[in-house]
Structure 1
Amino acid sequence: MYLRRTLTVFLLFSLLSVTHSLRPENHLLLPSSRKLGRDDSVYCLSWRFSVEVNDAGEWATIPLRCLQFVSQYMTGEIYSSDLEIISAESLEFAKSVHIAGDGKDVWIFDIDETLLSNLPYYAAHGFGSEAFNEDSFDEWALEAKAPALAASLSLYRELQRLGFKIILLTGRSEPFRNATAENLKSAGYDNWERLILRGATDKGKLAAVYKSERRKELTDEGYRIHGNSGDQWSDLIGFAVSKRSFKLPNPMYYIA
């Protein structure tokens, strides 16, 4: 029920967009030179809605007719507006939380497409002019140049001001720890409580399982998880979940 308000606002802003015209494991984003027709716009808006509310399930590719739609959305004003609305809803909830002052009240953030944006990577590759290449994405991640998502950076800082401890829980693996920390700091994020990456024992685990296990370890240590922000449903579901979860939009890829 807590995601309902965010998703309702998400749909409203998505409808307005029609009037104006990571490490990903399984996705495909290809360019399209053809103009987006009205029928495609309506269909793709509905498709994106089904993705965000998780009705689409474990989807692997963007429908061919929606490639241009996704490109326009991710680089346009509506995506930024959606993020701002979700950040505002998150902050509204955060202000209602009583902070005990014992350092155990936490907010969890995913990293890719939640705190950091990998859009420069996709733009450099023609927004997926070729199938996703793991090696080239690893090179991009090691460069530590991904910019912050402005709305997320603002929320991050406001949560710290309110007294929350920040836990970063990412699907990136341990070899990327130094580059990830460097990238976060250069993008404006600092003073987090903990940065959790996949270890050797997490190899092959579904993201939802891995992240649930790490959240359980946190609660076993006495942390109270009030909020959780992520662009994938697998960031938010499972066990040891937060009191409220906030799903950021991402129609580019799906991670189980």
Structure 2
Amino acid sequence: MKQKMKLSILAGVILLSGCAHSYTEEQAQNRLSSQSTLAVNWMQQSGEYRALSWQAFNTAKNIFMHIPVSSEERKAVIVDIDETVLNNIPYEAWLIEKNKSYSDKTWHQWVADRQAEAMPGAVSFANFVLAHKGRVFYISNRDAVDYQSTVDNLIQQGFPDINRETVILKTTGNTDKSARFKDVVAKGYTPVIFIGDNLNDFTGETWHKDNMQRRRFVDENHEKFGMKFIVLPNPSYGDWEGGMSQHYWKLSPEQKMQIRKKNLISWNGGA
């Protein structure tokens, strides 16, 4: 009997111990959302974030002017939209305040409000390219239903040459941009610079790849960064997050927290 009691008590202790480290779905979502707070603080408050945006577009201007093309070729610059030329971080801040995760519904509402501001240096760069006989193509994985809101927002922020030829959104469920890059070439343009906050904004080679493969791509193509590929920082979200684990986006909030912690590479404490 005593042995059974001991086993029962032990089982209870183990059960309680497990409960102490588990969360309800709502608690887990709250914790998951709050983990983005410092990244969003940095993007909204730091001078460094603005400086990096200016640096990216200043660098792109210099590159654009020094890339030779034949007289028959027309230079093109391919840019992403979100966190590249338009700043959507107020939406990310709202998600944190409301303890919510991204959803298509709230994202479409945000886009429809047309409140995104231009990234520092982006409008100046777009006008510069146009003035020097080039063209900017805005290739984004925003959905086609957001086209008019997106165009309105870009025009309101002062971007030139905004129309159905230059603003190319996602028309299917496929987020790989490779085919759309080829469409620009088919129109008679030579893409000389790609600008984005995600490796998938430069090539299809990193699409649906894990982070080890993504890092390998960067190392193997290091000479293109700062020359043909211009990266803007985005610690708030991106395909790098999904690259931490297979099927990451299908996991529960608590499982995502566990994956994030598991992916930390930490100091051993000097042991």
- Matching of residue 165 in structure 1 with residue 149 in structure 2: no
Structure 2, unpaired ranges of 5+:
1-30, 206-223, 243-271
Residue identity (%): 22
Residue number among 161, 172, 176 corresponding to 2:146 in the alignment: 176
Superposition deviation, residue 217 in structure 1: 2.3
Hey, what does 2:236 align to over in structure 1? 252
Structure 1, unpaired ranges of 5+:
1-27, 32-63
Which whole-Å CA distance do the structure 2 matches of 1:127 and 1:162 have between them? Answer: 44
Superposition deviation, residue 249 in structure 1: 0.7
**Aligned positions, number:** 188
Superposition deviation, residue 100 in structure 1: 5.1
Hey, what does 1:156 align to over in structure 2? 126
The structure whose RCO (Cα within 8 Å, separation 6+) is larger is: 1
After the TM superposition, which parts of structure 1 deviate over 6 Å for at least 4 consecutive aligned residues? none
- Map 1:185-204 to 2 at 5 A: 185-192=155-162, 194-199=166-171, 202-203=172-173
Evaluate the alpha carbon distance shift between residue 81 and residue 146 of structure 1 in structure 2; reply closer, same or farther with a 3 A threshold.
same
- The answer (yes or no) to whether the contact 1:107–1:167 under 8 Å persists in 2 is yes
**Residue identity opposite 1:253 in structure 2:** Y
| RMSD over equivalenced CA pairs, Å | 2.5
Which whole-Å CA distance do the structure 1 matches of 2:135 and 2:72 have between them? Answer: 10
Which whole-Å CA distance do the structure 1 matches of 2:37 and 2:135 have between them? Answer: 39
Hey, what does 1:85 align to over in structure 2? 55
- The answer (yes or no) to whether the contact 1:103–1:164 under 8 Å persists in 2 is no
- The answer (yes or no) to whether the contact 1:107–1:166 under 8 Å persists in 2 is yes
Evaluate the alpha carbon distance shift between residue 151 and residue 132 of structure 1 in structure 2; reply closer, same or farther with a 3 A threshold.
same
- Matching of residue 71 in structure 1 with residue 67 in structure 2: no
TM-score by structure 2 length? 0.62
Secondary structure of 1:150 counterpart: coil
Residue number among 77, 85, 88 corresponding to 1:118 in the alignment: 88
